[in-house]
Amino acid sequence: MNKEIQDLKEKVKDLHILYCEDEDEMRLGSELFLNKFFKSVDAVSDGEKGLKKFQENRYQVIFTDIMMPNMDGLEMLKNIKKIDENIYTITLTASEITEADIQETSNLYFRKPISYENMIIVMKEIVHKFDL
Amino acid sequence: MHELFYNKIQKLNRYYIKIFIIITFIFIFSFLLNFYHEKEHHENSALEHARNSFIKDLMFRKWVASHGGVYVPITKRTPPNPYLDHIPNRDLITTKGQKLTLMNPAYTLRQLMEEFDGMYGAKGHITSLKLLNPKNQATPWETKTLQKFEKENIVEYHQFLQQENEEYIFYMHALITKTACLKCHAHQGYKVGDVRGGVSVIIPMKKYNDDFKHAILIIIFIYLLFYLMALFALYCTYRTLKQSLLEQEKLYVSNHKKEEIMLAQSRNAAMGEMISMIAHQWRQPISVIAMWANNMTVDIDMDMLNEENSKKYADNIIMQTQHLSKTIDDFKNFFRPDKVKEFELIEDVMEDCLAVIEKSLQNNNIQLKKHYNNTTEVEIHSRELMQVFINIIKNAKEALVEAKIKDAVISLEIYEEEKAIISKISDNGLGIAPDVMPKIFDPYFTTKGVQSGTGLGLYMSKTIIEKHLHGTIEVDNIENGVCFTITIPKDN
């Protein structure tokens, strides 16, 4: 049992999470991982569905891929930010994208593959952001 | 030296050796012709000289014969001719007591010949096989010739012979018995028309031979001059031709090297492209692997590890490695050496190409539209054609990404016509600027800046399509976009 990890889990578990990823395998694995920290994780397969989910429910944190069919991650985030300016956004992508492109829409940005250490950093940042 | 040019120069050499032999042969032949012509001319001159000498003797003899001989005062030099004993009035005494004796044609001529021997270079001798005067005894050559006259019924004969290291013309003309001859020779049984003797003329050939040598020397000089001129001209043209061949070879080799360098550069660029495409292909599976591993780590950290979940994570990781392995096979396929042409469907080549590049299109949100309508296999270097497809699709992708097109689409259309298979690759990027359009197939031309473009992609594509597959590649701006049309003939 790792005390630090356990502490993190305790702090973030009540947050509502939206996760957008078009690759099934990736979504499955990541959803499982996120579920170990958060009680409520909604996973969708493209930006359009993500935006729809967001309009229906309230979330504090969004994890999203960028390249997705129908609506890409950046556009979805832009639309979501219009609804909730304080939403905390984390972009995880495989595409070669510059920081300038995502600065506006993303609070955190990681390139896939994402290491365990980086996932822990994400959790810590969330704790820090929401002052938990 | 390159084999092609080595053969060309060998051919040139053989050609010039042939010309050289022919020219030499013509010169020698022509010279010999001239030589014999000149020799004949000089021999004829000598013969003419001998003949003239004979005719003069004959005229003289005729003149004497026409008078029935002439009477001359008897002197020590001209005693009465004992062989004319049988003739009445051989010797006469004039009323004033002057003693005269008859000189017949033979006698006069012999005296003339003896006394003026060699005066004109010609030495005459009158002779017969049946002699009145033994002094007129025929030489062996004359005897032989007189016998020849009798046997062969000819009146004239000549030969060039060596005598004491000098060449002479030996000429002989038959004397035919005429009425006037009978005065002296009737008692020998001569009849009119008989060949009863001859006059031989011997002329030294030295003067003629000297003239001949002189003429030949001039001919040799002229021939040599022209021969050398011909050889010089031959040499000059040979050198010019050889030099131009060597020049061509240099150009060929440097062009060849340039092409090799370009090929190597484009191959390097293609390799770079491949690595970038592998990166695209692998990014997703390794991300998934990382995530399953993260799950396992977090389970350990949270004391949630159990066998069932661990097995699930491992199975998922294994599944992803299968995917990675397949990707490597796809790329290995692309780098497979492509020495032999094989019959293949163009759309199969396109699908192989897509296996490599499709992920990179997906990652850039580019939609693919495929429309295949072809059943004919063509004989091609499939890897090369694949390189062309990848080049064009990659260019389209880059154009679409750069222009930030919303609903980016690349359309692939393959269909067959009577004699060719047509492949069209079009995009809905912004098209090619008109000033750039004429240059896109030029080597080292790029609009992408030093880092991403070598400027060889389309140049090599054109080379592959035109030179290796004997087809054509064309580019047109269509409504918001570009369309590349590749035509590959069915009977390649």
Asked if the A3-130 domain carries CATH number 3.60.130.10, the reply is no
Residues B465, B436: contact at Cβ < 8 Å?
Answer: no
Shortest Cα distance, chain A CAs vs residue B301, angstroms: 5
Could you tell me how far CA B298 lies from the centroid of its own chain? 86
Q: How many CA atoms lie within 13 A of B218 on its CB side?
A: 7
* pLDDT of amino acid B335: 66
**Residue B185, pLDDT score:** 72
B13: left (phi over 0), alpha (psi -120 to 50) or beta: alpha
Residues A26 and B421: their CA atoms lie apart, in Å, by: 41
- The answer to whether B294 contacts A116, with C-beta atoms less than 8 Å apart, is yes
Question: Where do the domains of chain A lie?
Answer: 3-130
User: Å from B287 to nearest chain A CA?
Assistant: 4
Q: Using an 8 Å Cβ cutoff, are B336 and B386 in contact?
A: no
Angle of helix A24-35 versus helix B307-335 axis, rounded to 10: 150
Q: For residues B450, B454, B455 and B461, what is the CA-based torsion angle, rounded to 10 degrees?
A: -160
DSSP B305-370: --HHHHHHHHHHHHHHHHHHHHHHHHHHHHHS---S-EEE-HHHHHHHHHHHHHHHHHHTT-EEEE
Residues 6+ apart with CB under 8 A from A2: B300, B301, B302
Question: Are A114 and B289 an interchain contact pair (Cβ–Cβ within 8 Å)?
Answer: no
Grouping H, G, I as helix, E, B as strand and the rest as coil, residue B260 is helix
The answer to whether B100 and B74 are in contact (CB under 8 A) is: yes
Residue of chain A nearest B277, judged by CA positions: A95
Q: What are the chain B neighbours of A46 within 8 Å (beta carbons)?
A: none
Q: Which part of chain B is CATH 3.30.565.10?
A: 336-489
For domain B336-489, which architecture applies?
A: 2-Layer Sandwich (3.30)
Q: Nearest CA of chain A to the CA of B281: how many Å? A: 10
| Residue A129 reports pLDDT greater than 60 | yes
Query: pLDDT for B209-262, tens place per residue?
Result: 888 899 999 999 999 999 999 999 999 999 999 999 899 888 888 888 887 787
pLDDT of residue B117: 66
Low pLDDT (below 50) residues in chain B = none
The radius of gyration of chain A from alpha carbons, rounded to an integer in Å, stands at: 14
C-alpha distance from A42 to closest chain B C-alpha (Å)? 17
- Closest by Cβ to B287, choosing from A9, A72, A113: A113
Element (H, E) at B98: none
User: Distance from B447 to chain A by nearest Cα, in Å?
Assistant: 20
Using DSSP's 3-state secondary structure scheme, residue A50 falls into helix
- Residue in B204, B127, B118, B120 with CA at minimum distance from that of residue B161: B204
Among partner residues A26, A36, A68, which is closest to B302 by beta-carbon distance? Answer: A36
Q: How confident is the model at residue A72 (pLDDT cuts 50, 70, 90)?
A: confident
> Which residues on chain B are in Cβ contact (under 8 Å) with A31?
none
Task: Report the distance separating Cα B209 and Cα B212, nearest Å.
Answer: 5
Give me the residue from B284, B294, B316 closest to A119, CB to CB: B294
Rounded Cα distance between A19 and B284, Å, is 17
What residues of chain B lie within 8 A of the CB of A112, using their CB? 283-284, 286-287, 290
Residue B70, Cβ neighbours under 10 Å: how many?
16
pLDDT of A77 reads 93
Q: 3-state class of B20 per DSSP?
A: helix
Q: Which residues of B81-90 are buried (b: 16+ CB within 10 A; e: fewer)?
A: bebbeebeeb
Task: Decide if A2 touches B, using CB distance below 8 A.
Answer: yes
Strand, helix or coil at B422? Answer: strand
Residue B1: closest CA among B249, B251, B257, B255: B249
**Optimal mutation site among B280, B283, B294, interface A, most CBs of chain A within 10 A:** B294
For chain B, how long is the longest CA-to-CA vector? 189
In Å, how far is B295's CA from the nearest CA of chain A? 5
Q: Which residue of B has its CA nearest to A25?
A: B288
Binding-face residues of B in 99-118 toward A, CB within 8 A: none
**Residues belonging to chain A:** 132
**pLDDT for res B313:** 93
Q: How many CB pairs under 8 A join A and B?
A: 79
| Surface of B (286-325) touching A: CB under 8 A | 286-295, 297-304, 316, 319-320
Kindly provide the b/e burial profile for residues B405-421, where b requires at least 16 CB atoms within 10 angstroms of the residue's own CB: beebbbbbbbebeeebb
Question: Nearest by CB to A95, which of B291, B316, B363?
Answer: B363
Six token digits for residue B473 = 């590649």
Q: Which pLDDT tens digit goes with each residue over B29-62?
A: 999 999 999 999 988 998 998 888 888 888 888 8
- β-pair type (B472-478, B481-489): antiparallel
User: Which residue in A95, A101, A115 has the most chain B C-beta atoms within 10 A of its own C-beta, making it the best mutation to test that interface?
Assistant: A95
Query: Which of chain B's residues have a Cβ under 8 Å away from the Cβ of A26?
Result: 284, 287-288, 291
Q: Do B363 and A29 lie within an 8 Å CB cutoff?
A: no
